[in-house]
Amino acid sequence: MRLVVLVVLFVVMGWGVTVSASWQGSFSGVSVFLWYVADVDVVSSKSGVWWPGEEVEVYYIAKNGRLDIAILIPQNIPLVGGRHYSWSFELRPGEVRSYDVSIGGLATLKLYGKVDLRAVTQAAGAEPATVTVFVPSRAKFRVYGTATFTTTFYAVPTVGAEIRAFGLSYRLFERQLGEAKMTPSVTFTVSSYFLYVAVLGAVVVASIAAVYIYRRRPKQLQQSSGGAYLILPNNLAVPLTGDALLSRTWVASIFPNAPWLNYISETHAVIRRRPDGWYIEDLGSQYGTYVNGRDVRGAGEVKLNPGDVISLGGVFTLIFRM
């Protein structure tokens, strides 16, 4: 199989990027043409740090995507030989979508596709020096001075097609295409304010350190016997006594200056108590609700188990406990 990869990346605003890639190849005689476009954001939790070793989080957020597939089937394939089919649909990185095409009422051609988007960040002046994640996700770094972060995206599509007729199915092909490197890379800098802090004097430095230690210290979890609660990123425990709306306003009351608040909807998700336990439901959020990495948009109420990790929009993480 001969594979040709064409890639384009445009910076649209800030660290938001639109990545596009195209592939073409032949699988079992079937010619396949694939185009993929996705919008992703790279967001840093801080523009600068006050002291060496301070933690900075980088968020990789998939906003939307579109996959276009065209196939040309060779003449020797029964029922569909010599035909050309095309398919276009919305597809975020990591999602799987399929599309059925009726063939004269006698058979059905099923097309399906998936694109995994991988982000590789090289950090100069921070640790770890290299981090690889799949979008959407986040990574943590410790910054030891002015640090430069360079992120390169790679797309890995998987496509397939099968025919179903007379109660039987025949797979035409299923292939993972070659990984495509997106260029140019996205680069940003986190500044260091340590020298400016030092000249303010011992009193100011001591005050800042005291505030930092206070805010960073683990909170004592207040647990009630048999009760359910959520653990926030700052280790604070929030008891659940009934239905709980997870909204942008609620998150902003805890983290008012978070740079990723726009990725949480005003009515994002709700946790409800039922006779047999606790359930979470996505309320049509734009960037999704994830339980243990699974997007539960459109899934209705999903039961929660102790230890489940809940992510709002891929940027705000909670842990369910009982």
Q: Evaluate if residue 8 carries a pLDDT over 50.
A: no
Q: Evaluate if residue 215 carries a pLDDT over 60.
A: no
**Letter for the amino acid at 205?**
V
Rounded distance between C-alpha atoms, residue 119 and residue 192, angstroms? 25
Q: In three state form, how does the secondary structure of 62-83 look?
A: EEEEEEEEEEECCCCCCCCCCC
E strand or H helix that includes residue 170 = strand 168-176
Under the banding of pLDDT at 50, 70 and 90, the label for residue 87 is confident
Rounded distance between C-alpha atoms, residue 262 and residue 30, angstroms? 43
Tens-digit pLDDT profile for residues 284-316: 999 999 999 889 998 899 999 999 999 998 889
Tens-digit pLDDT profile for residues 153-212: 888 888 888 888 888 888 887 888 888 887 677 888 998 887 666 666 566 556 666 665
Q: How many residues does the chain have?
A: 322
pLDDT of residue 209: 60
- The most confident of 50-54, 177-181, 216-220, by mean pLDDT: 50-54
The fold of 219-321 is Tumour Suppressor Smad4 (2.60.200)
Listed range (6-10, 271-275, 312-316) with the worst mean pLDDT = 6-10
pLDDT of residue 27: 72
Q: Which residue has the tokens 């040309």?
A: 72
| Residue 285: Cβ-neighbour burial (10 angstroms; 0-12, 13-18, 19+) | buried
Alpha helices in the chain (DSSP H): 194-198, 202-216, 248-254
pLDDT of residue 273: 92
The SS3 assignment for 215 reads helix
Q: What is the DSSP letter of 25?
A: E
Rounded distance between C-alpha atoms, residue 172 and residue 169, angstroms? 10
Q: Evaluate if residue 11 carries a pLDDT over 60.
A: no
What are the boundaries of each domain within the chain?
Answer: 4-192, 219-321
Rounded distance between C-alpha atoms, residue 60 and residue 138, angstroms? 6
The SS3 assignment for 175 reads strand
pLDDT of residue 204: 58
